[in-house]
Amino acid sequence: MPTNGTPSAASHLPVPDRFYQLLVESIQDYAIFALDRSGHILTWSAGAARLKGYARTEIIGRHFSAFYPPEDVAAGKSARELEEAARTGRMEDQGWRVRQDGTRFWASVVITALYDELGTLVGFAKVTRDLTQQRSETEALRESEARFRLLVETVQDYAIFLLDPEGNVATWNAGAERIKGYRAEEIIGRHFSVFYPEERIAEGFPQHELEVAAHKGRFEDEGWRIRKDGSRFWANVIITALRDESGALVGFAKVTRDLTERRAAEEQARNLAAEQAARAEAERRGEELALLSEQLEEQAIELEQQREEAQTLSEELEQANDQLQRALAEANDARQSAEAEAARAAEASRAKSDFLATMSHELRTPLNAIAGYTQLLDMELRGPVTPAQHEDLERILRSQAHLTTLINEVLSYARLESGAITYSVRPTLLTTAATNAAALVEPQRVAKNITLEMREPEVVEGSPFHVLADQDKLQQILINLLSNAVKFTPQGGQITLELQTEPDRRGMAQIRVSDTGIGIPADKLQAIFEPFVQVGRSLNSPGEGTGLGLAISRDLARGMGGDLTVESAEGKGSVFTLTLPRAV
Ligand code: ADP
């Protein structure tokens, strides 16, 4: 039974056949041609030539199975299609067809049975369209969808699944199974809130997520989720709203990632970093402390050294102080004993002086009496005296005079020694003292025919030469030296008195008394300045002199800041040198 009445309807239209032919000829995108009842090609069009590659002459009369791949022909497909079109009036198919050059194309084919007025099948109209382009697009879409599905299904690291608009799980993938522990058949159809902890469900958080995603298109969250076995994991969740072309909400895509390990790793890294920082800080503090303690130790050592030094110093100071105290005490003792000694000495000296003064006085009184009565007798006031008796009286008088001199000198020396002598030191013209002294010894000198030479500069540096001296004492020393020179120089000798005005290096003037006398043995040169020392005499053999002259003279010289020294050669003479300070 024909279901498509188009050919018969067309035949009723007052349109010439030629018009149809032109129409068919002009259509480029469709191959439109006619087959006879057995399927042999009767007509050919430009669109058919373009589509299938055959020229009209090549294909007219051939069976239409030429357009089918050999395997389809072998399977009887072309025959089946023709049969179906004959039976039902129309057959539609999509499938691979073959061009003249052997290449294939995806074709949409409609085969329509053609009947004559009597309803007898006369042939078929075949319209073929090349759907290769369209098919490849659809195919590509399908493949990409399939690939995507496969991808989603096999992704292990993410739970990727769909929720329906109410939040029930619609799809499931391997990652979701791995992460959440449910198999697809266990979870599909259940509400996604099973993945949330109870407290979050109580807060209405899952619903809130969906609302936000629906409203804003997307919702992202990180938080605790629950696995099938009840254990928790830290998840990153992204929920995306899915809408169709009209904008109606069709569901949600949910991607969940398990960050437990990452979170643990991060935590661990954080802990590690904190630990390292703490350790570094502790090390740094430790180093600081070590440094500090080192410094403290050094300071302590330094302080200890300083303390020891201070201790040593204080000990030394103490010792020094002790020594000083001892020295002071000793000095004090010495001073005290010296003072005591001096007092004792002064006392003794005073006693001695007193004694000697008394003694001299006591001795001088009878000596004066002796002299007086001897002279009374010598003057024969008591009666005549024989010449021999005169001689004796003379001896008595001489002895009395010697004794008187001795007593005077002893008294003088005693007073000198006790410090009782006072000096009136003043610039003194040396020449005067020398001349006076020389005059006093002149009788004895002349008696022995001894010459005296005085060498004295009258004027020194424009003024008379002065020394600092007590004139009487200076004169006494010079008399002693000159009289000794006369005494110990034989007849016809010579005495020289020389004033050395050129000061020596101590600024002292020198007075030299030289003689050509007997001289003094070297071993006696110092002794003659001791009291009662006389060369070649003993106290038992009385004679001239007392042995006190030089002792007194040196004491006087030293008392005036000068000195008395001697140089001598036995048998040749002596030189006595008196030094005194020069008067400026
Ligand atoms: P004195 O002359 O009274 O004996 P001195 O003290 O003056 O006492 O002299 C001591 C002694 O020194 C003398 O006895 C004498 O031996 C000796 N002496 C002094 N002057 C001379 C001198 N110029 N030449 C030799 N001997 C001297």
CA–CA dist 197, 199 (Å, integer):
6
- Is position 42 within any domain? yes
Q: What CATH number corresponds to the domain at position 527?
A: 3.30.565.10
113 and 165 housed in the same domain:
no
Atom of ligand 1 nearest to the CA of 552: 6
Whether 120 and 166 map to the same domain: the answer is no
Checking DSSP bridges between strand 573-581 and strand 508-515, what pairing results, if any? antiparallel
**For ligand 1, atom 3: residue with the closest CA:** 545
Look at the block and give the residue holding tokens 């009487």: 472
> Contact 479/440 with Cβ under 8 angstroms?
yes
DSSP E strands: which ranges in 286-398? none
Provide the whole-model pTM: 0.44
In angstroms, the CA 67 to CA 374 distance is 214
Q: Residue 333: its pLDDT value, please?
A: 84
Sheet order of strands, 508-515 included? 451-455, 494-500, 508-515, 573-581, 563-569
CB burial of 570-581 (b: ≥16 within 10 Å; e: otherwise) equals eeebbbbbbbbb
**357-381 burial, b if ≥16 CB within 10 A, otherwise e?**
eeebeebeeebeebbeebeebbeee
Q: Is residue 354 part of a domain?
A: no
DSSP annotation of 527: G
Q: Which DSSP category does 583 fall into?
A: P
Q: How far is the CA of 448 from the centre of ligand 1 (A)?
A: 17
* Local structure of residue 66 (DSSP, 8 states): G
Distance from Cα 548 to the centre of ligand 1, integer Å = 9
Q: Whose CA is nearest to atom 19 of ligand 1?
A: 484
User: Which residue matches tokens 């879409």?
Assistant: 141
Residue 195 covered by a domain: yes
Atom number, ligand 1, closest to the C-alpha of residue 536:
16
114 and 191 housed in the same domain: no
Whether residue 51 is contained in a domain is answered as yes
Q: Which protein residues touch ligand 1 with a CB less than 6 Å away?
A: 480, 484-485, 488, 515, 517-518, 520, 528, 534-535, 545-550, 574
Which residue stretches of 65-114 are H helix? 70-74, 77-88
CA nearest 584: which of 426, 471, 477?
A: 426
Tokens matching residue 97:
């067809």
**Distance between CA 52 and CA 203 in Å, rounded?**
69
| 90 lies in the same domain as 19 | yes
Dist. CA 160–CA 140, nearest whole Å = 23
544 CA to middle of ligand 1, Å? 10
- Which pLDDT score is estimated for 5? 42
In a domain, 414, yes or no: no
385's tokens: 């005296």
For 471-477, the CB contacts below 8 A with 24+ separation are 471/426, 471/428, 471/432, 471/433, 473/423, 473/556, 473/559, 473/560, 474/428, 474/430, 474/433, 474/560, 474/580, 475/433, 475/436, 475/437, 476/552, 476/553, 476/556, 477/553, 477/556, 477/557, 477/564, 477/578
The partner residues of 161 in beta bridges, in order of sequence, read 254
40 strand-pairing partners: 63
Q: Is residue 211 part of a domain?
A: yes
CATH number assigned to the domain comprising residue 98 = 3.30.450.20
Give the position of tokens 């997520």: 209
DSSP category for residue 582 = B
Beta strand pairing status for 104-115 and 121-130? antiparallel
Which residue minimizes the CA distance to atom 9 of ligand 1?
547
Q: How many domains does the chain have?
A: 3
Q: Please indicate, yes or no, whether residues 187 and 86 belong to a single structural domain of this protein.
A: no
- CB under 8 Å to 123, separation ≥6 — which residues? 34, 35, 36, 37, 42, 114
Is position 336 within any domain? no
CA distance 553 to 511: 13
Nearest residue to 437 (alpha-carbon basis) of 549, 528, 560:
549
Atom of ligand 1 nearest to the CA of 548: 6
Q: Give the end of a domain, one of 258, 290, 322.
A: 258
Antiparallel, parallel or unpaired: β 104-115 and 563-569: unpaired
Q: What's the pLDDT at 2?
A: 45
As separate numbers, helices (DSSP H) first and strands (DSSP E) second, the chain gives 16, 17
Q: Are residues 436 and 565 in the same domain?
A: yes
539 Cα to the center of ligand 1, angstroms: 14
Nearest CA to ligand 1 atom 16: 535
Q: What is the pLDDT along the chain (584 residues), one digit of tens a residue?
A: 444 444 444 445 455 677 777 777 777 788 889 999 999 999 998 889 999 999 999 999 999 999 999 999 999 998 999 999 999 999 999 899 999 999 999 899 999 999 988 889 999 999 998 888 887 888 788 887 877 777 777 777 888 899 999 999 998 988 899 999 999 999 999 999 999 999 999 999 999 999 999 999 899 999 999 999 999 999 999 998 988 888 888 889 998 888 888 888 888 888 888 888 888 888 888 899 999 999 999 999 999 999 888 988 888 888 888 888 888 888 888 888 888 887 887 777 677 777 777 877 788 888 888 999 999 999 998 889 999 999 999 999 988 888 888 888 888 887 787 777 888 899 888 888 888 999 999 999 999 999 999 887 655 555 567 889 999 999 999 999 999 999 999 999 999 999 876 666 667 888 999 999 999 999 999 999 988 888 876 544 445 678 889 999 999 999 999 999 999 999 999 999 999 988 87
Q: Does residue 263 sit within a domain? A: no
92/173 same-domain check: no
**Among the three residues 240, 258, 276, which one is the final residue of a domain in this structure?**
258
Domain that holds residue 229: 155-258
For residues 122 and 239, state if they share a domain.
no
Q: If DSSP states are collapsed to H, E and C, what string results for 153-220?
A: HHCCCEEEEEECCCCEECCCCHHHHHHHCCCHHHHCCCEHHHHCCHHHHHHCHHHHHHHHHHHHCEEE
14 and 97 together in one domain: yes
At what angle are helices 430-447 and 471-487 packed, to 10 degrees?
30
The predicted structure's pLDDT at residue 407: 84
Same domain, 179 and 112: no
Q: Which of 534, 541, 544, 567 to mutate to test the pocket of ligand 1 (most atoms within 8 A of CB)?
A: 534
> How many angstroms is it from 24 CA to the middle of ligand 1?
194
Mutate to test the pocket of ligand 1, among 452, 479, 487 (most ligand atoms within 8 A of CB): 487
Tokens 């619903």 belong to which residue? 207
H or E element at residue 444: helix 430-447
| Final residue of a structural domain among 216, 240, 258 | 258
Query: Is there a contact between 43 and 33 (Cβ–Cβ < 8 Å)?
Result: yes
Do 114 and 204 reside in the same domain of the chain? no
The pLDDT of residue 533 is 83
User: Which residue do the tokens 């096999």 mark?
Assistant: 154
- The residue with tokens 């430790």 is 286
Report the C-alpha gap between 209 and 200 in whole angstroms: 11
Query: Does 562 lie in the same domain as 451?
Result: yes
Q: How many CB atoms lie within 10 A of CB 76?
A: 11
Residue nearest to atom 8 of ligand 1 (CA): 547
CB of 461 closer than 8 Å to CB of 479: no
**DSSP β-ladder status, 494-500 and 451-455:** parallel
